[in-house]
Every structure is written in structure tokens, then in C-alpha cells.
Amino acid sequence: MAEHGEEEAATLEFTPTWIVALVCSIIVLISLLAERCLHYLVQTFKRKNQKPLYEAILKVKEELMLLGFISLLLTVCQGKIQNICIRPSWTLHMLPCQGEDEIIGRIGRRLLSGGAAEVDVCRSKGKAPLMSLEAIHQLHIFIFVLAITHVVFSVLTMLLGGAKIHQWKLWEDAIQKDTAGNGPKKVNNVHNFEFIREHFKGIGKDSRILSWLHSFFKQFYGSVSKTDYTTMRLGFIMTHCRGNLKFDFHKYMLRVLESDFKKVVGISWYLWVFVVIFLLLNVNGWHTYFWIAFIPLILLLAVGTKLEHVIAQLAQDVAEKHSAVEGDLIVKPSDDHFWFGRPRIILFLIHFILFQNAFEIAFFFWILTTYGFNSCIMGQVGFIVPRLVIGLIIQLLCSYSTLPLYAIVTQMGSFYKKEIFNEHVQQGVLGWAQKAKMKKGFKKSNGAAQSTSPVDSVGPSTKVEMVRRPAREGNDAGESIE
């Protein structure tokens, strides 16, 4: 038995070289293939001048680097983690699985997988190791599966949602070709417009409740109609670029969505905090992961309802202020229609929803492959099936309804985004702003130096240099030097 145990725990110095070389070659080959695929995507996006997607791939690389660091940290510190000893009674509380066989088998599994030396150190003190080697290894795999699942689900959501948004290109092309707006403008009753008839439900408390109910159910069918797109597009153009009625609103919207993708695909620090909290609450009998599955669903329905209600508020603002309008119906974008006056909150909520949904799916498949379907940590079938169904509903609803709604409705804020300019204009404007900021800073430092520093203590050469530096960028260089 002892010899058999020594063979199972053979170190690298007693492992055949051909096995070491074979395993190392396979790992390196897979890593190189993954790196080459990412490099190919980066070069493709750079060649097609798609900077937002290029930055999103860089964000994925950052996440992979973080995973690599977590992996390295767990590997290097696993010995020290095992050397941390705690009271045996502490290991019997807040268990994912509660059973006599499980409790009795905990010590045995730690002896087999945790390294005898580390276990003996704790046993000699009458204590138990904090975490076994097997548990560290399984946690390691779960973190990796979670991150990869989140990236895959985010990409899938953007692809499906982007396909839905690309269908609106036909509406944009039709608007660009339409020249009917060049004729005489007619005065129309606001209630004759389809946009008002569809979204305005009247004035009063009952009408507000009816409007919210209509917004809730509309996200499940035809979340954005052609009339919605045409009206919001015109409202954006008349507010932010009145001089360019042929502005390509569809292309601008896609650029904004691609820019937001690099935010969605990452895993922010507060998402890792939620992971830790969820792992802490995974106690036997609580069915935490079943109840947690409802959080992203409720948030997704709330976000979709709010976005639809923003459209209804745009219609209500026009219907309450005007009885008739001349020409086309024009809505007025405003941040007041969004939660706390910040449209950006919607993006954070979508980010959390996608991550939480990926967490649920990743946790299920990790348990399935690690412990099996009949494991106690998997739970009862009655709790498993609803979680999977909810995850599928969230993925489809977010892709085909909420994300397209987000893409167009969040443009109805008080301010436009930098993506309204093309890439070259963005770089020029940002460069100009940076130079202006630097110039302003030099002038402030120059004024502070002249008011606080005596001429004799600074010296003539220093004084001339401080005055000339901002003067090179101004139009009054001769007067400043004088």
C-alpha cells in the first residue's frame, strides 16, 4: 500500500521524460494556438479599422492575464494554504453538502489529496488544514470556467443582438433615400402620429399604470418598431446635429455598441465580490443558487420595462405640450427619463445580468463535470431545471430585446457620445483638447511662478524659459516675450 501511494504521488524527478515532454508539448501547442487566434482577431479588427472591437479583444487578453495570475498565485501558495490549521469543528459549519458520510470522508480525502506532510503538521496540533489540495485545484478550475463562460456568453449576446440591430439598416437606408421632407410642411394633430397612438396612454394615475404595464409586455414582442426608430432618430439629429439631416444614425449606434462591448466583456472588481458572496452562501438546504437565478431575470425585466417606458415618456412629453405640430414629430432627448438621470446605469445592469447568468451556467457545468449529476451539491432536479430554463430565457431576451433597446434608447439622453465622430475626427478632437489642457496648465503654472517667486531668486534664464514655453503655442508670442 505504501509503495502504491508513493507511485501515485511520484514527483517530476521520478516521472519518465517522454511523459513530461509529451504533456508539455500539448500544453504549449494549445496555448500557442489560442494566442495565434487572438492575434489574428486583433490584426483583423485593426485592418478593418474597428477600434472598439480591437479594444474588446485587448480586454479579453487582460482577463486571461488575470486568470493566469490567479492560477499562478493558487499554485505557488497552495502549500502555504494547506499549512494554515484551523479547529476541526470549524470545518463542519456552512457545508455545501451535509451528510454523515460526507463529514467522515472529509479527513480521508484530505489525506489522499492534500499531501501527507501538510496534514501531519495540522494533525500534530490537533487541528485540520484550511483547504485540501484537491479543493484548491477544483476552485482553480471553477474560476477559469467562470471567466471563459462569461466571455463566450457576452460575445454570443453581442452577436445575436448585433444581428437584430443590423436589420434596422433597411430602415436607415429608406430614410436616407426619402426626400419627402423637402416639400411644404403640414400641420398635424399629434394624436394622428402612430408613435403617439402606440405609446401615449393619457394623463393621470391610471394612465401611468397602464403605460408601465404596456412597457413591460412590449419588450417581449416588437420591442423597437420602424416608427420608434424613425422618431428617435429624428429627435437625436434635431437635438445634437441639426445641420446634418442625413446623419447615419444606424452607423453611430453600432459604433457606440461596439465601444460598450469592451465594458461588458470584462470582469470588474465588484463582480468578483459577488462571486465571493455567492460562494459563501452556497450552504446545504438554502438552495441559494436557485433563488439567485431569479436576480438577473428580475433585473432584466426591470431594465427592459424601463427602456420601453423611456420611449413612452418621449411620446408623453410631446402629447402633453402640443396639440398639433408642423411637419414631422420631433421628440426631445433628456437624461431625466433615466434612473437617477444617468443612462450609463443601464450598461452596468446589463453587465451584471450577463455575468450573473454566465455564473449560473458555469457553476452548473462545473458541478456536472466535477462531481456528477447526482452529487448533493448539484441539488434536486426540481431546482436544476428551472435554473437552466431561466438562464436560456435571460440569454434570448437580452440578445433579441434588451440589447437592441439599450442600443437605441440610451441615445435619448441629453448628451451625445464621442462615437458621433469618425475615428480620425475623434483623434483630432481629443488631441486638440489635450493640447488646450496642457496650454491652460502652463499658463496657470506661469502665473503662479511669477506671483510667488522673486526675480532674483529664479534667475533671468529660468524666467525667460517659463514665459516662452506657453508663448510658442499662442498668437501673442512677441508680446509675451517682451
Stretch 199-211: mean pLDDT? 73
Residue with cell 488575470: 66
Same domain flag for 397 and 335: yes
Residues 164 and 91 occupy one common structural domain: no
Show which of 372, 387, 416 is a domain's final residue.
416
pLDDT, tens digit (0-9, with 9 covering 90-100), for 378-419: 777 777 888 888 988 998 888 888 888 898 898 888 888 777
- The amino acid at 113: S
Quick one: angle between helices 133-166 and 381-397, nearest 10? 40
pLDDT, average across residues 62-88? 79
Sort residue 222 into left (φ over 0), alpha (ψ -120 to 50) or beta.
Answer: left
Reading the block at residue 318, the C-alpha cell is 410631446
Per-residue pLDDT at 200: 77
Same domain for 391 and 319?
A: yes
Local confidence band at 305 (pLDDT 50, 70, 90 cut-offs): very high
CB-based contact 304:343 (threshold 8 Å): no
The C-alpha atoms of residue 171 and residue 173 are separated, in whole angstroms, by 5
Alpha carbon distance 461, 478 (integer Å)? 17
| pLDDT over 60 at 105, yes or no | no
Q: Residue 437 falls within a domain, yes or no?
A: no
Give the whole-angstrom CA distance, residue 352 versus residue 357.
8
The three-class DSSP label of residue 379 is: coil
- Residue 267 in any domain: the answer is yes
In a domain, 263, yes or no: yes
Residues 425-458: b if buried by 16+ CB within 10 A, e if exposed = eeeeeeeeeeeeeeeeebeeebeeeeeeeeeeee
Three-state DSSP at 463 gives helix
Q: How many domains does the chain have?
A: 2
Terminal Cα-to-Cα distance of the chain (whole angstroms): 95
Distance CA 214, CA 479 (A): 67
Q: Which is higher by pLDDT, 426 or 320? A: 320
Average pLDDT over every residue of 466-481: 38
Instruction: Choose one of 370, 395, 416: the last residue of a domain.
Output: 416
Residue 163: give the domain boundaries: 146-416
- Measured between alpha carbons, how far is 241 from 257 in angstroms, rounded to an integer? 20
- What is the separation of C-alpha 309 from the centre of its chain, rounded to a whole number of angstroms? 23
Is residue 428 a part of any domain in this protein? no
Task: Mark whether 237 and 362 lie in a shared domain.
Answer: yes
Q: Is residue 35 part of a domain?
A: yes
Query: pLDDT band at residue 203, thresholds of 50, 70 and 90?
Result: low
Q: What is the pTM of this model?
A: 0.73
Per-residue pLDDT at 478? 39
- Residue 278 belongs to a domain: yes
Say yes or no: 72 and 158 in one domain.
no
Q: What's the half-sphere exposure (Cβ side, CA atoms, 13 Å) at 318?
A: 29
Give residue 225's pLDDT: 86
d(CA 211, CA 477): 62
Mean pLDDT of the chain: 75
Angle between helix 294-321 and helix 344-370 axes, rounded to 10 deg: 160
Q: pLDDT-based confidence at 299, cuts 50/70/90?
A: very high
Question: Does the residue 477 lie in any domain?
Answer: no
CB neighbours of 373 closer than 8 A, spacing ≥ 6? none
150, 130: one domain: no
Q: Which residues contact 455 (CB under 8 A, 6 or more apart)?
A: 463
81 and 157 together in one domain: no
State whether residue 270 is helix, strand or coil: helix
Gap between the Cα atoms of 315 and 200, Å rounded? 6
User: pLDDT > 90: what percent of the chain?
Assistant: 3
pLDDT of residue 307: 92
Q: pLDDT digit string (tens) for 444-461? A: 666 555 554 444 444 443
Residue-wise pLDDT for 133-164, tens only, equals 788 888 888 888 888 888 888 888 888 888 88
Q: Which residue has the higher pLDDT, 125 or 342?
A: 342
227 in the same domain as 154: yes
Indicate the residue among 416, 435, 465 that finishes a domain.
Answer: 416
| Mean pLDDT value across residues 350-362 | 87
On whether residue 298 sits in a domain, the answer given is yes
Statement to judge: residues 24 and 171 lie in one domain: no
Q: Check whether residue 323 and residue 367 sit in a common domain.
A: yes
Q: Do 251 and 315 belong to one domain?
A: yes
Same-domain status, 128 and 165: no
Q: What is the DSSP letter of 482?
A: -
Q: How far is residue 251's CA from residue 249's CA, in Å, rounded to a whole number? A: 6
